[in-house]
Amino acid sequence: MSLILLRSFLDAAIARANPAVCVAPFLPPPPRGRAVVVGAGKAAAAMARAVEDHWSVPVSGLVVTRYGHGVACRHIEVVEAAHPVPDAAGADAATRILGLVQGLDPDDMVLCLLSGGGSALLACSAAGIALAAKRLVTQALLKSGATIAEINCVRKHLSAIKGGRLAVAAHPASVVTLAISDVPGDNPAVIASGPTVPDPTTFADARAVLAKYRIQPPASVAARLANASDETPKPNDPRLARSTYTLIATPQKALEAAAAVARAAGFEPIILGDAIEGEARALGAAHARLARETAPGRVLLSGGETTVTVDGRGRGGRNAEYLLALADALNGAPGISAIAADTDGIDGTEDNAGAVVLPDTLARARLKGLDAAAALAANDSYGFFAGLGDLVVTGPTRTNVNDFRAIVVAGAPPG
């Protein structure tokens, strides 16, 4: 299977979520008063640039994005910070954003630009929670196998800005949120930890998440969660009555763009789902079985966000681990190729977006002394695919609609 074809599916998915394309159609009418632009996420800087290019309103503001994902803007300040574990730059930027939206009038508008990664980048801690404590909890959650909804539930209850608190701070100004979804189910309360929408989760839910994954938090975190005296704003909170929310790009739309490319190439696309979760290696094995049972001439497309429970000391993100399990289970099955990548261009914390699997992957690995099963046990998917030269490197895409997966079952295209 042509590597160019595999890559064309990924490129189409990413292009559909490009802020230069998807922001302009959803910009609101100008406010009577001031327009303050704030935001967070891997796409935040590119979204801010699109606002400046297409909105005929004098703007000011600040957005925070991941290191390396910045875009030069004329009037909106862009700050780069750490992801997925927060740092001082993100904490300072989030504190400044909170200050920018306070003291506004009813005629003013806050335009909030959110995308994947916003939870780590909006690192403004609740009173009594030091950044070091938040970092420890985040690291433990990321290694535990917790879902993004579970992780963000905890994050919201350790934050002064997430879980609707940003919109509360902006009251009585109107708040218009434009969001690029990176979470299964496109839940606004989960995307970037929902800083402008009501939060249905509670302190008790956050405590339950830590208990489920047997995480012993620092004393300050345990005390805050146990005290539970500063609950996040809930549905029907009047301070959120002037906050509106629009999804401008989603994983499903990205998959549909890839499906169009597959049809043009003579294949029948089958979208398995845009919100698939679970352990990456388990999903890889399950998709290998499905691919073996699929008629030739089809492309299996899927999105979502898997998890990795880290037991070994290797390197690699969830997409590479998914592919390693897929390759191991396929065991060289003829005619089946695959690509999987994070649409933000960063698979976990590595420099690759993902990788590819070809029918000869395991054969080439054996010639190089690489063992797929051993690499999987060590969580060393990066090392395995790097050794084959099969990593997919895009660099920062400045958008994020989560993981993208395509499995091509080659053969005569359907007539």
Reported as a single tens digit per residue, the pLDDT across 13-30 is 999 999 999 999 999 999
Residues 216 and 319 in one domain: no
Domain count, the chain: 2
- Considering Cα of 255, then 260, then 264, then 269, what sign does the dihedral take? positive
**Which is higher by pLDDT, 414 or 374?**
374
Domain shared by 38 and 179, yes or no: yes
> What is the predicted pLDDT for the residue at 1?
53
**Whether residue 233 is found in the same domain as residue 279:** no
DSSP 307: B
Query: What is the DSSP secondary-structure string of 78-131?
Result: EEEE-SSS--HHHHHHHHHHHHHTTT--TT-EEEEEE-TTHHHH---BPTT--H
Within this chain, do residues 64 and 114 fall inside the same structural domain, yes or no? yes
pLDDT tens readout for residues 125-167: 999 999 999 999 999 999 898 999 999 999 999 999 999 999 9
Task: Let me know if residue 26 belongs to a domain.
Answer: no
Q: Which residue among 218, 249, 280 closes a domain? A: 249
The pLDDT tens digits of the residues spanning 213-259 come to 999 999 999 999 999 999 999 999 999 999 999 999 999 999 999 99
Does residue 73 carry a pLDDT above 90?
yes
Give the domain-ending residue among 218, 234, 249.
249
| Residue 111 within a domain | yes
CA count, 13 A, side-chain hemisphere, 228 = 9
H/E run at residue 388 = helix 381-388
- Calculate what percentage of the chain has a pLDDT beyond 70: 99
Per-residue pLDDT at 261: 98
Residue 207 reports pLDDT greater than 80: yes
CATH at 182: 3.40.50.10180
- Say whether both 263 and 245 belong to one domain: no
**337 burial type by CB count under 10 A (0-12 exposed, 13-18 middle, 19+ buried):** buried
| Lowest-pLDDT range of 59-73, 162-176, 304-318 | 304-318
Q: Is residue 395 domain-resident?
A: yes
Confidence of residue 349 (pLDDT cuts 50, 70, 90): confident
pLDDT of residue 291: 97
- Are both 35 and 172 inside the same structural domain? yes
In a domain, 310, yes or no: yes
pTM of the complete model: 0.92
CA distances from 373 to 12, 86, 126, 282, 414 (A): 32, 33, 43, 13, 35
Among 227, 249, 271, where does a domain finish?
A: 249
Same domain, 44 and 134: yes
Residue 103 belongs to what domain range? 31-249
Confidence of residue 314 (pLDDT cuts 50, 70, 90): confident
Q: Within a domain: residue 243? A: yes
* Co-location of 211 and 276 in the same domain: no
Residue 207: inside a domain, yes or no? yes
Q: How far apart are CA 156 and CA 173, in angstroms?
A: 22
Q: What is the dihedral of CA 55, 59, 60, 65, to 10 degrees?
A: -10
22 occurs within a structural domain: no
Q: Could you tell me if 205 and 242 lie in one domain?
A: yes
pLDDT for 415? 38
Do 306 and 179 belong to one domain? no
Mapped onto helix, strand or coil, the DSSP state of residue 299 is: strand
Q: Which residues pair with 273 in a beta bridge?
A: 302
Query: Does residue 413 carry a pLDDT above 50?
Result: no
Residue 170 reports pLDDT greater than 70: yes
Residue 240 shares a structural domain with residue 260: no
Looking at the fold, whether 112 and 163 belong to one and the same domain comes out as yes
Structure-block tokens of residue 403: 């993981």
| pLDDT for residue 411 | 64
Q: Average model confidence (pLDDT) for the chain?
A: 96
